[in-house]
Amino acid sequence: MAAPIEINVSQLRVSSVLNRDVKQYGKKFLVDGNEDTCWNSDQGSPQWITIDFERDVVPVDVSIQFQGGFAGGDCWLEGKMDVNSDWEKIDDIYPEDNNSLQTFKVNTSGKAIVSMKIVFGKSTDFFGRITIYQLKVNRDIR
């Protein structure tokens, strides 16, 4: 059984923001629930998003809504088992270059993590920019 994880802005970090314009394209727009706002990275690859969970969680899936033409490519998930551990690769994800909300299973083999990193190794945009309108993570509630 799965339940959404409430993510607040203080739990998020991003690799960059387009033109450093956090008022218009900042990380807060990943989780604000407004379909008209978005996080937009600056150019260059890789880009990434990290989420520091408030407690250990076993994530079951992550949902991302990209803007078509600015989707991630060569993507993977990493996790930290505790705050002092290094990032470990969890799984590869394969987003499509479209505007739909896409959900990707997360396979931690049932292990809880304290942080998750979504890495976009490249982008469908020529300059390496990523645009995301929604980010959601569901956890196991066994």
Give residues with Cβ within 8 angstroms of 117, minimum separation 6: 48, 49, 50, 51, 77, 78, 79, 87
pLDDT exceeds 80 at position 142: no
Name the CATH code of domain 2-140 (choices 2.60.120.260, 3.30.413.10, 3.40.50.300, 3.60.70.12).
2.60.120.260
Q: What pLDDT, in 10s, does the model give residues 97-140?
A: 999 999 999 998 889 999 999 999 999 999 999 999 999 999 98
Mark 55-85 as b/e (b = at least 16 C-beta within 10 Å).
eebbbbebebbbbeebbbbebbbbbbeeeee
Q: How many CA atoms lie within 13 A of 136 on its CB side?
A: 14
DSSP type of residue 58: -
DSSP line for 103-117: EEE---TT--EEEEE
Q: Are 106 and 75 in contact (CB under 8 A)?
A: no
Give the percent of the chain with pLDDT over 70: 99
Average pLDDT over all residues of the chain: 95
* Burial classification of residue 93, based on how many CB atoms lie within 10 Å of its CB (0-12 exposed, 13-18 middle, 19 or more buried): buried
pLDDT exceeds 90 at position 2: no
Q: What pLDDT, in 10s, does the model give residues 7-49?
A: 999 999 999 999 999 999 999 999 999 999 999 999 999 999 9
| 39 bridge partner residues | 132
Whole-number Å distance between alpha carbons of 135 and 103: 10
